[in-house]
C-alpha cells in the first residue's frame, strides 16, 4: 500500500508542478525551454509515473478499466458458471436485474420527455 501511495504522490507532484516550472523556465530561460519543460513533464514523465505506479501496485491498465466497467450481468454469469449459485437463483437475480434496468430506462425516458416540454 505504501508503494502505491508513493506512486500516486509522484503523479500528483509531476502534474501540479509542471505548469509553474514550465512558466518559470519560460520567463527566465526562454520560451523554448519552458515549453520543453512542460512537454517533458506532461507527455513523458506523467505517463511514465502512471505506468510505474500501476506496475508497483501490482495492477494492470486492464484491471483498472475493468473496475470502471462493472457489469452485474457478467458477474452473475461468472458466479453461475463457477458454481457459486444454482440455476434457480441465477434466473431470479437475472430477472431482478432486467426488471431494474427496464424501470431505470422508463425513468430516463420520462425525465427526457419532461425536459423537452
DSSP string spanning 22-67?
A: HHHHHHHH-HHHHHHHHHIIIIIIHHHHHHHHHHHHT--HHHHHHH
Q: Which of 41, 7, 6, 5 is nearest to 21 (CA)?
A: 41
Residues 3-26: what's their mean pLDDT?
78
The answer to whether residue 104 scores a pLDDT higher than 50 is yes
Tell how many helices (H) and how many strands (E) occur in the chain: 6, 0
The answer to whether residue 64 scores a pLDDT higher than 80 is no
Per the CB < 8 A criterion, the answer to whether 79 and 92 are in contact is no
pTM: 0.40
Amino acid at each position: 500500500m505504501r508503494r502505491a501511495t508513493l506512486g500516486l504522490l509522484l503523479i500528483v507532484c509531476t502534474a501540479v508542478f509542471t505548469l509553474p516550472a514550465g512558466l518559470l523556465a519560460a520567463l527566465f530561460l526562454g520560451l523554448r525551454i519552458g515549453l520543453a519543460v512542460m512537454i517533458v513533464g506532461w507527455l513523458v514523465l506523467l505517463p511514465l509515473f502512471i505506468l510505474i505506479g500501476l506496475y508497483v501496485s501490482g495492477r494492470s491498465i486492464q484491471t483498472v478499466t475493468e473496475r470502471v466497467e462493472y457489469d452485474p450481468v457478467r458477474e452473475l454469469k461468472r458466479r453461475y458458471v463457477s458454481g457459486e449459485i444454482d440455476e434457480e437463483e441465477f434466473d431470479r437475480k437475472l430477472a431482478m436485474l432486467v426488471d431494474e434496468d427496464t424501470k431505470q430506462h422508463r425513468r430516463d425516458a420520462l425525465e427526457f420527455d419532461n425536459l423537452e416540454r
